[in-house]
Chains A and B, each alone.
Chain A
């Protein structure tokens, strides 16, 4: 096995995967847009785009994993990957920040103003007479009709415990990897993605309960909007994270990763901690406070 020190740079050869990805994005975006405009064919174009993107992701990662297993990458490439992943996660944090920002703005500014606070007495009197600002709210227009707010205890609390535990199990798995305890690594990594999928399942149960029994929907004013968009995007990220954990799990079973070289493992672990931290924010500000 050749080891490469930093005295010679590694530059990868060309790849057709990015252009496949661009074509996939073209189909996806054109498809979903036409579908939203009411063209039925849009749905199929969208699904084609999704298929091409899955094909691209699979192929691209297979290429990179293959090159990695053949020992082509040096430490510098490893650092590039790590830093790239770190900044990607930071960009994800900022995406969630936009929605948290919307939640805070609505709760602390928009709704009190609609209720007449600060110098908005006439807004309240002339436009929304009798509206008192509260949280949760579906707004002075009562958009979405009577609803119940999601209580913080019960399912959401169970989900919090599940997700926090999964962060612990993935850390134990990491330590096992460093200590070359492969069985422990596999068991705790397996536990992590199982916990992740249970979380997603329970989130689904909660959504069904909200829609069927509580009349709490995406259309339930600003409360429903922020609740479902924040938890929905988070759930999507948990799903992606759990899929990535599953892939990592199978790579562990195949004998990939060493205590020195396990960028993919760490990247997924970071990502998992990120969805965990976002959840803590969600639990505190969306469910609880």
Chain B
């Protein structure tokens, strides 16, 4: 009996990757699944990006030139859904899959088969969502926020939209459960919670947010579905419901969702800056507490998305002040990043460049967020391009730059080769210049009163729109450089185990490329404690 069991165990643990397509379809290896997540995310990034190109082309000059207004609205809606749920979130899950087990000395994720399912639900969800582009009535065009009653006018796409959101939710919840269980249960023996790397910490907090709010989104879209098909009155005033109620439920999900997209970015940047400043992260514990504060506050600020909808004055005041409080822990983080660099011996490889741009440009997005948080001012900004500028600053040079930074930082660990630093820097500079050319003028457009989600505009907005469109095309083309980096990644010089001079942590103790199975036994306590700090 014991020999058969031992055989089974040894067999499981010693074989390399399975041959052929089965390696990917039946994958339980965290590195394989992480790779699939990252490739899926990049694919969605380009599909969502193509939609952004349609939007910016239409807006390049006033008047209607390329697309029907209905299709334009589909593009804004689908661009958002794809970028939020298909590009940014899976990219961070991919990074988590690859790096969390390596960082905490675990052999794999805690629930590897569920990990496979989390991933393989995503192609189904986005296959369904993208198929709505070809349906009678077109793809959903009521905005990614799916406000009723407008969204109920969607054609055949409506139930497909609802169920694809359900699938994304199921995938995220399973992914989040896996991350939490892995971090809580699979850490190297002497890695206490406060010794965990910052990326692991921020992902732990993110996973809690996901488990708490994705089911709420599922509930909200379920109510939309039953209102449409089964005659319920959740969002129908005549039946005693309220369309505004949807906005409350949606944004109870939606606001923590924006921290779901930025907390892992904080984690990535908190890994990279210490490496290239060659100093330990300044205020590690305060970073943990700041991230926890942000997560807590994210649950009590949702109605700042709805200042113009009609709310009691006390509600407006509460949500305004609670929102502004978030600036405090966020300020702690930005301070700590700057303090980490203070008197560090810094070098500026591509991951560091993206991280520095992140700190600077994300902070601009944070400041415009603070402006939007002021309820009386928001009445003017609401639904203008100022809002578009704000959330693109936190999402593109925020989340996306952090993902890029993470990809460059860990790519040598994944492939075993140094990528082309020349191409990487070119990618960085073009991205950084064009992202500002695209989104900075939108602040002015918004303050001047240009509304969002409209395919045409008044002629006085022409100059800034043309500049933004040029920037957008430039940013889109710049991302092709990243593909070139990936395609040539195997050509570079061999990477050492530590890859970068200033790295510390368990993931740099394994060879580059990381072998198929790592940490099959828990790392020895002494070695582990030496690399933690």
- Report whether chain A binds chain B: yes
Question: Is there contact, CB below 8 Å, between B312 and A118?
Answer: yes
Task: List B contacts of A98 (CB < 8 A).
Answer: 215-216, 218-220, 223, 249, 252
Question: Is there contact, CB below 8 Å, between A16 and B5?
Answer: no
Q: Number of contact residues on A: which range applies?
A: 35 or more
> B195 in the interface, Cβ–Cβ < 8 Å?
no
Could you give, for residues 99-116 of chain B, a 1 whenever the CB lies within 8 Å of some chain A CB and a 0 otherwise? Answer: 000000011101111101
Q: How far is the CA of A15 from the CA of B178 in the complex (A)?
A: 17
Interface of B is mostly: helix
Name A1-56 residues within 8 Å CB distance of B.
Answer: 1-2, 4, 6-19, 21-22, 25-26, 29-30, 32-33, 36-37
Task: List B contacts of A72 (CB < 8 A).
Answer: 5, 8-9
> A141 in the interface, Cβ–Cβ < 8 Å?
yes
> A250 in the interface, Cβ–Cβ < 8 Å?
no
- Closest Cβ of chain B: how far from A231's Cβ, in Å? 13
Question: Is there contact, CB below 8 Å, between A84 and B229?
Answer: no
Task: List A contacts of B184 (CB < 8 A).
Answer: 83
CB < 8 Å neighbour of A6 from B163, B170, B249, B522 = B522
Task: List B contacts of A118 (CB < 8 A).
Answer: 312
- Name the residue among B163, B177, B219, B233 with the largest chain A CB count within 10 angstroms: B233
With A7-B522, A18-B114, A71-B5: A222-B249 Cβ-Cβ less than 8 Å: no
With A91-B214, A141-B239: A10-B28 Cβ-Cβ less than 8 Å: no
Q: How far is the CA of A15 from the CA of B12 in the complex (A)?
A: 12
With A110-B240, A221-B233: A84-B181 Cβ-Cβ less than 8 Å: yes
Could you give, for residues 28-41 of chain B, a 1 whenever the CB lies within 8 Å of some chain A CB and a 0 otherwise? Answer: 10000000000000
Task: List B contacts of A278 (CB < 8 A).
Answer: none
Question: Is there contact, CB below 8 Å, between A18 and B216?
Answer: no
> B212 in the interface, Cβ–Cβ < 8 Å?
yes
> B388 in the interface, Cβ–Cβ < 8 Å?
no
- Closest Cβ of chain A: how far from B514's Cβ, in Å? 15
- Closest Cβ of chain A: how far from B409's Cβ, in Å? 26
Question: Is there contact, CB below 8 Å, between B110 and A80?
Answer: yes
Interface of A is mostly: helix
> B213 in the interface, Cβ–Cβ < 8 Å?
yes
- Closest Cβ of chain A: how far from B47's Cβ, in Å? 19
CB < 8 Å neighbour of A92 from B22, B186, B215, B517 = B215
Could you give, for residues 173-204 of chain A, a 1 whenever the CB lies within 8 Å of some chain B CB and a 0 otherwise? Answer: 00000000000000000000000000000000
> B297 in the interface, Cβ–Cβ < 8 Å?
no
Task: List A contacts of B111 (CB < 8 A).
Answer: 80-81, 84
Q: How far is the CA of A99 from the CA of B230 in the complex (A)?
A: 16
- Closest Cβ of chain A: how far from B126's Cβ, in Å? 11
Among all A-B residue pairs, the 7 with the closest Cβ atoms: A98-B219, A141-B238, A139-B240, A222-B240, A18-B117, A219-B231, A110-B242
Given contacts A8-B521, A21-B117, A97-B215, 11 further A-B contacts (CB under 8 A): A11-B107, A15-B28, A19-B26, A26-B124, A80-B181, A84-B110, A90-B212, A91-B215, A106-B242, A128-B237, A140-B238
Please list 26 pairs of residues, one from A and one from B, whose beta carbons are closer than 8 Å in the complex, sorted by A's number: A1-B1, A1-B2, A6-B522, A8-B520, A9-B186, A11-B112, A18-B117, A19-B120, A33-B162, A76-B185, A83-B110, A84-B181, A94-B215, A95-B216, A97-B216, A101-B252, A110-B240, A119-B312, A144-B231, A217-B231, A218-B226, A219-B231, A219-B233, A222-B239, A225-B233, A229-B226
